[in-house]
Amino acid sequence: MRFEKWQALGNDYVIVEHDALPFELSPARVQELCAPHTGIGADGILELSRTDEPGFVAVLRIFNPDGSEAELSGNGAREAILYLRRAGWTDQAQFSIRTAAGELRPTILSDSTCRVDMGRARDEGTGEIAGFRYQQVNVGNPQCSIRLPSEADLASIELTEVGPGIEHDPRFPNRTNVSFWTELAPDRIRARIFERGVGETASSGTGACGAAVAHALRGGDSPVTVVLDGGELEVDVGDDLHIDLTGWAEPVYAGELSPELLARLASLS
């Protein structure tokens, strides 16, 4: 079983092609593959399948390291998109892929950069949680965006303490991603992300989008640069909340699973 490992702003995924898999990706197998010491180690698995759907190059499934399936990942989608181009699935600069959140329409800008039409976000209202005011938006997956007054406030937040309670709050029946952010300039914000099924992460494309939409709804400029622990992403939020996400992704290495790991995975259900 061959695979490639990619990363985008430190957010790393293992990419596999469905036709090359010797078994289905069950939650237990995903957890084993993502394990840092006994598996490959990754923030998730990207599974690419061929499709006969007109205009579409591939179907992308995204798995979190806890085995759950995510509707969308901005960083993961860019990694999959640039992998498709690099692996020869398409030679087009513009094409479409299908995800659980719907169609994504990327434009290849270079060998390592692309702009992705993420579709239109939904404003799902505001409220108060864990002592914070939040803006809930959906960018293909749920995002709870919380604005803080300053960089010092943002740096002092213990994400591993406050994140799980918000992620699993009953008002979010499918769990939610959480982004804490603060404004650096009208067109620049700093964000820290607690991702559903992952925990605190150096980068999240959809988390950046959620923070950018919340920023735009407060009257902030667009496009906005979102500064994350792993680097920067540019998010263009239209007046109708249509999102374009621009950033880079690159391969880390290609590999092949050992017979021992394959046997261990095959024994799992």
Dist. CA 250–CA 252, nearest whole Å: 7
Counting every residue written for the chain, the total comes to: 269
Each residue's pLDDT tens digit in the chain (269 positions)?
999 999 999 999 999 999 999 999 999 999 999 999 999 999 999 999 999 999 899 999 999 999 999 999 999 999 999 999 999 999 999 999 999 999 999 999 999 999 999 999 999 999 999 999 999 999 999 999 999 999 999 999 999 999 999 999 999 999 999 999 999 999 999 999 999 988 999 999 999 999 999 999 999 999 999 999 999 999 999 999 999 999 999 999 999 999 999 999 999 99
Q: For residue 212, give the 3-state DSSP assignment.
A: helix
Q: What is the pLDDT of residue 197?
A: 86
pTM above 0.85, yes or no: yes
Q: How far is CA 185 from CA 222, 239, 247, in A?
A: 11, 19, 20
Q: What is the pLDDT of residue 80?
A: 98
Q: What is the pLDDT of residue 214?
A: 97
- Torsion, Cα of 225, 229, 230, 232 (10° steps): 10
Dist. CA 175–CA 100, nearest whole Å: 16
CB atoms within 10 A of CB 131: 6
Tokens of 49: 């399948």
